[in-house]
A and B are shown apart, each in its own frame.
Chain A
Amino acid sequence: MPQKTDRMSVYWKKNLRTLLILLLVWFVVSFGFGIILVEPLNQIKIGGYPLGFWFAQQGAIYSFIVLIFIYVVRMNKLDREFDVHED
């Protein structure tokens, strides 16, 4: 079944691309904004929060939640598109 195998490898590539983009954001909000760029970002104040500090202790965590839910929605769509969804 070469056709089926091809379709599966397209599915897998699309999955990998989704992962790559989401993990890039994961890296940027935590390691990037929360650690590497924390000093310059701290010059910006959001309410009483220095922005870099906010990312390190609040913002990164909120972003993580959003990332997982984007992944859930995107993969559910992809599964249906390639007819590999359950039930």
Chain B
Amino acid sequence: MDILTWTYLLVGLSFALYIAIAIWTRAGSTKEFYVAGGGVSPLANGMATAADWMSAASFISMAGLISFAGYDGSVYLMGWTGGYVLLALLLAPYLRKFGKFTVPDFVGDRYYSNKARVVAVICALFISFIYVAGQMRGVGIVFSRYLEIPIEWGVVIGMAIVFFYAVMGGMKGITYTQVAQFCVLIFAYMVPAIFISMQLTGNPIPQLGLGGEVADGTPLLEKLDGVLADLGFSEYTSGRKGMTDMLMITLALMVGTAGLPHVIVRFFTVPKVKDARLSAGYALIFIAILYTTAPAMAAFGIYNVINSTSEKNISELPAWVQNWQKTNLINVDDKNGDGKVQYLADPVANELTIDKDIMVLATPEIAQLPNWVVGLVAAGAMAAALSTAAGLLLVISTSVSRDLVKNFNPEISEKKELQIARLSAAGAVIFAGYFGVNPPGFVAEVVAFAFGLAAASFFPVIILGIFSTRINKEGAIAGMITGLIFTVSYITYFKFINPGINSEDHWWFGISPEGIGSIGMLLNFLVCYFVSKFTPAPPQHVQDLIQEIRIPKGAGEAQDH
């Protein structure tokens, strides 16, 4: 069978599976819609969290990002996994014990203030919208590349699928489809990685292959350092970013991860505090399978690309180069007219431009794997994009139906609330789809926003809300607003107002906009602490609540008001 048939077959089968699961797990109550009834096993929740967390960007782009960044790419690897330690140790068990449905729920109750709740809702909505637009775009790209249909139609089909199971099934439907999506995406990622590791280093385990030797007996990384240095690039294993910036970006990504509402809410779905801790551990194992393979894929990818193109005759380039030239993900321009490809660090003389997404998308072809593997990678990329999109849509719909409508109109019936939740999920799908079809030019730019904002807004007030009994609503509101305004201003200034000077010489203390969330977080902590010190302590019932969430006993199920 040819590639296109395999792709239709595997993508079609995986979609049929998701829809079947959605019908089987329809949500009947608000509790099932918001937190899957609170009865999800820690193992299933771990898988769902991993699928929720690993987006189209993790699946398609991360390996390529590391290919070109080398050691500097470690910020993403450590940042996007280290956050789970914070989540497991500092947030998940206590928020589970608190036992409501959303992050704004916690902020609103702990800080006995609807203002704090509204600030939290705005942050949650903003972060989730930024993210979801990127996912829909990912779905569209995969459709257009592999199924050869226009991006617009790809987005519409993606919307229809997500609409079906997120709107029908709520958290319950999402959780069990995410479990299936995790299996599809991890299988799809590992198969080509294992093949390619075998071919290059003779070791089937990519994590070991990265430290292995290539055919001539030199270690792969040493060889890569040498090849890149010859072409004028810096060495693969040493960094170019300043140390302060490395530290700050890693911290912002870790703390941002722990503060993302669609990740936190997953820990409300397990039955016990004990399960919340364990489930964070499972989630990290499942995530680590991909995150320790990605750096291997990155090194294999760049090594293969250079080997099969550099100084080769343009007429004799391998077939995959021609295939991917059609999509503009790879471009050859024979500037000096010698009929050969020169891949060089110097942009004036360089004749080969490669998009980072190539490293995952074209791997099966580069390694000459069977056609079904190509179809599998397409299905995997789709699973990664859809699972993350669904998790985000749920946060958006919950924020509207529960944190806004229900909170300010407590008298509405459960049936009505469920209707509003479904309606807002539907609205969010359409919104996301619109931006998938007409992507704003700044989608990539605003990703820094999502993590920066989560780090600078939620993380400090949740941590202080659990670990201090003295922090009060004045402190929390002032802290969140300071963290937000500072981070938003810094990123906006360097990314939008004055992008021309977005370089190390102009950044404060050498900290890039990607890392500034760390400083926003510190400011939030400080302001929170000092404002609370000079304003009255929280009332007794809040102090009791804090004591209550610190011990696991008596968690019960996630409760409505």
Residues of A within 8 A of B (CB): 8, 11-12, 15, 19, 22-23, 26, 30-31, 34-36, 38-39, 42, 45-50, 53-54, 56-58, 60-62, 64-65, 67-69, 71-72, 75-76, 79, 83-87
Contacts and interface: CB of A to CB of B under 8 A. Distances in A.
Contact of B281 (A39, A42, A65): A65
A64 B550 CA distance: 23
A85 B274 contact: yes
B78 interface: yes
Interface string B534-561: 0000000000000100111111000000
A52 to B, nearest CB: 8
B247 A35 contact: yes
B221 interface: yes
A72 B277 contact: yes
A72 B284 CA distance: 13
Given A56-B74, A64-B288, 18 more contacts: A8-B547, A31-B247, A35-B74, A35-B250, A39-B238, A42-B237, A47-B211, A48-B221, A53-B74, A57-B74, A57-B292, A64-B81, A64-B82, A64-B85, A68-B284, A71-B277, A71-B281, A75-B93
B77 A61 contact: yes
A78 to B, nearest CB: 10
B176 interface: no
A67 B551 CA distance: 21
16 contacts: A8-B551, A19-B90, A26-B82, A30-B82, A47-B212, A48-B211, A53-B71, A61-B77, A61-B81, A61-B291, A68-B88, A75-B274, A79-B552, A85-B274, A85-B553, A86-B272
B522 interface: no
B85 A68 contact: yes
B246 A35 contact: yes
A58 to B, nearest CB: 6
Instruction: Give 10 nearest A-B pairs by CB, closest first.
Output: A48-B219, A56-B74, A68-B281, A49-B211, A57-B295, A47-B211, A48-B211, A84-B551, A84-B553, A53-B237
B285 interface: yes
Contacts of B272: 86-87
Given A8-B551, A47-B219, A86-B553, A60 B82 contact: yes
A78 B56 CA distance: 40
Size category of the binding interface on chain B: 35 or more
A14 to B, nearest CB: 12
A75 B272 CA distance: 13
Given A49-B210, A84-B553, A86-B273, A71 B89 contact: yes
A30 B251 CA distance: 10
Contacts of B208: 47
A77 B280 CA distance: 18
B211 A54 contact: yes
B57 to A, nearest CB: 18
Interface string B283-327: 011001001100100000000000000000000000000000000
Given A31-B247, A48-B211, A64 B84 contact: yes
A8 to B, nearest CB: 7
Contacts of B28: none
B39 interface: no
Contact of A56 (B77, B85, B277): B77
A65 B550 contact: no
A25 B195 CA distance: 35
B6 to A, nearest CB: 32
Contacts of A22: 85, 89
A10 B273 CA distance: 19
Contacts of B284: 64-65, 68
B78 A30 contact: yes
A86 to B, nearest CB: 5
A72 B278 contact: yes
